[in-house]
Each structure stands twice: as structure tokens, then as C-alpha cells.
Amino acid sequence: MAPRPRSARWLAERFTVGERTIRRDIDALQQTGVPIYAEPGRYGGYVLDKRHTLPPINFTPREAIAMAVALHALAGTPFLDAARSTLHKLITVLPGYDVEAVREVAARIQLTATPSPSPGPHRRILAVAEQALHRRAVLVLDYVDQRGAPSRRDVEPLGLLGSDNQWYLVGWCRLRAGVREFRLDRIRQAVPTAEVAPARPFILRHSGSARTSLDCFGNADMGLS
């Protein structure tokens, strides 16, 4: 009924019920404290007090993933149920196509613990990797391995792994012709390309400690299903 007045006739046609049903239901809502009032006049009708309404909340898929990562920190605390409820509400306001995008990316993010924020340039690398994962964009990495040897890699991003110490980009390395984990603090530069990576069958696994998937949207620890 917000933001403009709606007559009982309009509401009855909108919800395919009788005007008497509309008036009865509005009366019941008013008795429970819902701030609905009637504006008189030719263009009057029932109105919901604007002070008690909220504008539409339009989360992007990236914002939904960020919320899921942040709420992951509440796993193992008394606030876990509230975190699940928050994620559930978040999903309900996303358009259907965005929900599918969130599910796809969330299934490719795993946390072995609550990751520490990546300082300085590593935070920027993480942002680039996360955007590439959403877009399935091939990345060109300037990478230094554990022996200090530099190399340039064309990488198809497959997932992100977060631990209490590090973030890793998991991807198909074209140089090595296989799946590799790249520590973000060893990536000197990450440049996204316009090339869309081909779909590859892949299950995100990590050799470290027990992991928690962000499959939002469907896992036993933080999921919604």
C-alpha cells in the first residue's frame, strides 16, 4: 500500500478477493499495530505509514558473498543461529538470477578458519581474484614460488581458500597444466583479462585442516538449506 494510497477496490482486484475481505484484513492488521490509515478524497485510499517502511535492499552477489564471509566468523559462537537467519533474509531479497550467481561462487570459497584480513597490496590482490572468480576471467599472475623463483602464469580461477594465516587462489595453471594453489602474499601482480575461462569440473579441496564451505547457502555449518 505504500508509497501511494490504494483503494479497497484496487487491492481487491490486485489480490483477486472481495472488497469486504480487504477491509476485514486491513482492520485485523490495524488491531495488531500495523500503521495503516485511510486517506480521504478522490485519490485517497489505504496507506502504510512511510516511517515504518524500508526502501528495497538491493544487494549485489559480491555483497552477499562478503556478508557470508563476515558471518562465518560467528561459527562456533552463540550467535550462529542469528547468522543463519541473517543469511536466509539476505537470500530472500536477491533476485533469482543473483541467487544462482551467489551459490555458484560461494561453493568455490572455503575457509579453514576465520581468515585474518590481508594487509596492504594482498588485500588488493584478493579483491582482484574475487572479482575474477565472479566473472570467470582468466588472470595473468606475476608469481614467486616458495624457493623465490619468479614466473608469469595464466590462471583460470576456480576458487578461494582462507585460513587463519593466508588466503589462496585456486586455479588451473596453464603453465603447469594442472590445478595449483597460489598464496596471495606471493602474487606480485594479478591482471584480469577479457578472456572467459572454460568451465572445468572441479571440487574445491584443501590439504590443510578441516574446512568450512561458504556454500551458503547449503552447508551444515553456515548453510541455509
Please give the pLDDT value at position 152. 97
Q: What percent of the chain has pLDDT over 90?
A: 30
Q: How confident is the model at residue 224 (pLDDT cuts 50, 70, 90)?
A: very low
> CATH says 113-209 is which class?
mainly beta
Every domain of the chain and the residues it spans: 8-52, 57-110+210-225, 113-209
Q: What is the DSSP letter of 146?
A: T
In angstroms, the first-to-last Cα distance of the chain is: 32
Query: Rounded to whole angstroms, how far apart are CA atoms 162 and 156?
Result: 18
pTM of the model: 0.55
Angle (CA) 189-196-168 rounded to 5° is 40
Whether omega for the bond prior to residue 3 falls within 30 degrees of 0, making it cis, is yes
Q: What is the DSSP letter of 175?
A: T
List, for residues 93-120, the tens digit of each pLDDT value.
777 667 777 777 777 777 765 555 555 5
Contact indicator for 102, 217 with CB cutoff of 8 Å: yes
List, for residues 154-165, the tens digit of each pLDDT value.
999 998 887 767
